[in-house]
């Protein structure tokens, strides 16, 4: 696991962390881990399909009338 060092942390911030940790029944280190975890991780996993469906609903993409091309695909030339 990775570790970090925080330098020049004001004493009052360190004291507040110790108090908060004690209130939550954790060590100061565990409290800092919890704070960092909460700050940088999303509350729930982002689901791409759900996001795309919401985007379609928001911009009324179901109402689009797009006709499919009838021509067969052409082979790409790389010459």
Q: Is 20 exposed, middle or buried (0-12, 13-18, 19+ CB in 10 A)?
A: middle
pLDDT, one tens digit per residue, over 4-40 is 999 999 999 999 999 999 999 999 999 999 999 999 9
Q: How many residues does the chain have?
A: 79
pLDDT, one tens digit per residue, over 43-66 is 788 789 999 999 988 988 777 777
CB 57 within 8 A of CB 51: no
Walk me through the domains of the chain, giving residue ranges and CATH numbers: 11-63 (1.10.1220)
């Amino acid at each position: 696991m990775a570790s970090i060092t925080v330098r020049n942390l004001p004493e009052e911030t360190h004291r507040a962390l110790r108090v908060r940790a004690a209130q939550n029944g954790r060590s100061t280190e565990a409290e800092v881990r919890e704070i960092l975890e909460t700050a940088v991780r999303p509350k729930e996993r982002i689901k791409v399909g759900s996001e795309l469906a919401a985007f379609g609903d928001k911009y009324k993409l179901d109402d689009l009338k797009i006709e499919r091309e009838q021509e067969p695909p052409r082979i790409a030339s790389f010459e």
